[in-house]
Amino acid sequence: MPISAEPIRVLVTGAAGQIAYSLLYSIANGDVFGKDQPVVLMLLDIPPMLPVLDGVVMELQDCALPLLKEVIPTDQEEVAFKDLDAAILVGSMPRKDGMERKDLLKANVAIFKSQGAALDKYAKKTVKVLVVGNPANTNCLIAAKSAPSIPKENFSCLTRLDHNRACSQVASRCGVPADKVKNVIIWGNHSSTQYPDVHHCVVNVQGSVKPAFDVVKDDDWLKGSFIATVQQRGAAVIKARKLSSAMSAAKAICDHMRNIWMGTAEGEFISMGVYSSGNTYGVPDDLIYSFPVTIKDKTWKIVDALTINDFSRARMDATAAELVEERDAATSFLSA
């Protein structure tokens, strides 16, 4: 296919890190924004990481990818955020041993306040912003609040990794490929309080589409260890690998951004953390909360009016309460 489109400018922060290393090839190869869409990659990291970033740039050049028009490594926000079409904010302050949660929140508020302001000042007003760095929901909210001239609907945080984990667990249990499982939902926070919900999930078994509960035939597993496995999966990967989940996170980022750019399939919804405002599920306003969404024309819409039973309600409320607490702590730092 001839490549004639204007290049889009895509920023990845924390670009010398593990997740970015797994992510950048897919973006530059057209797996995210389309096989006929040239890209200019903006790579932002902190000054001590610039020598490492130079190595990443060399590797991207050595891939000889036809869609990759330019790679610009930098530690300057005014360079990185200029005229962006998409921003993938991976870099954040990781939790260190002995660090209190409030200290982690405070450090990240400073980062995402600054990056939100840079988006506001330098990026296109149509920029689509995906926050990956944890605590992702609250970091995303801070970035959105710090960029008042960009619509809050342009900001989202990554819960697609949790969504993919949930699909994979159900698929494995049913003995089908992962793409035969549709419409799982991750509600709430990208934390151990998230609620992986399969009450609306369907499984395609040999051409016949059935509710997940009917195929799995093990309600105790679906309401118990399945939920715990998805909630604790990140910690399990770190324990086994001694490093966080980079490959699966990068895949989820690609899935998320591709859906924003290309839309979701008819009759299918995915999970992403989006701005809560007047939703039908009783989730408090002014949070970034993971909902089931459909996407068309680069615009997401929460899937409304799904029936919510008492089991689900309690878990949705618990993760919302954690997000309210996080938001209130973070916004107190914001005004400090």
Residues 88, 43: Cα–Cα separation, whole Å: 10
Please give the structure tokens belonging to residue 9: 């400018």
- How confident is the model over 228-237, as pLDDT tens digits? 999 999 999 9
pLDDT of residue 332 exceeding 70: yes
- How confident is the model over 208-223, as pLDDT tens digits? 999 999 999 999 999 9
pLDDT classification of 62: cutoffs 50, 70, 90: very high
Where helices occur in the chain by DSSP H, the ranges are 18-28, 50-62, 77-80, 101-122, 136-145, 160-174, 212-216, 219-223, 225-241, 247-262, 310-335
pLDDT of residue 265 exceeding 80: yes
- List the catalytic residue out of 163, 190, 199, 256: 190
pLDDT classification of 95: cutoffs 50, 70, 90: confident
Mean confidence (pLDDT) of the chain: 95
Residues 119, 41: Cα–Cα separation, whole Å: 16
Residues 23, 277: Cα–Cα separation, whole Å: 31
pLDDT classification of 4: cutoffs 50, 70, 90: low
- How confident is the model over 5-37, as pLDDT tens digits? 899 999 999 999 999 999 999 999 999 999 999
pLDDT classification of 227: cutoffs 50, 70, 90: very high
pLDDT score for 334 = 83
Please confirm, yes or no, whether 163 is among the known catalytic residues: no
Determine if the pTM surpasses 0.75.
Answer: yes
pLDDT of residue 321 exceeding 60: yes
Quote the percentage of the chain above a pLDDT of 70.
99
Annotated binding-site members for NAD(+): 45, 108, 132-134
pLDDT of residue 205 exceeding 60: yes
pLDDT of residue 293 exceeding 90: yes
pLDDT score for 26 = 98
- Closest-CA residue to 158 (of 28, 44, 14, 281): 14
- Closest-CA residue to 262 (of 128, 82, 133, 169): 128
Residues 227, 254: Cα–Cα separation, whole Å: 24
- How confident is the model over 297-310, as pLDDT tens digits? 999 999 999 999 99
pLDDT score for 222 = 96
Q: Give the pLDDT mean for 182-188.
A: 98
- How confident is the model over 151-178, as pLDDT tens digits? 999 999 999 999 999 999 999 999 999 9
- Closest-CA residue to 16 (of 61, 48, 63, 64): 48
Taking each helix axis as running N to C, give the angle between helix 247-262 and helix 160-174, from 0 to 180 degrees, rounded to the nearest 10.
100
pLDDT score for 323 = 97
pLDDT of residue 295 exceeding 70: yes
∠ Cα 129 95 92 (to 5°): 25
Q: What is the dihedral of CA 214, 219, 225, 229, to 10 degrees?
A: 30
Report whether the peptide linkage leading into residue 148 is cis, meaning its omega lies within 30 degrees of zero: no
Q: Give the pLDDT mean for 140-161.
A: 98
**Site of tokens 């859906």:** 259
Q: Give the pLDDT mean for 270-278.
A: 97
Helix H or strand E segment including 20: helix 18-28
| Cα distances (Å, whole numbers) of residue 20 to 73, 94, 134, 170 | 13, 15, 15, 28
pLDDT score for 67 = 98
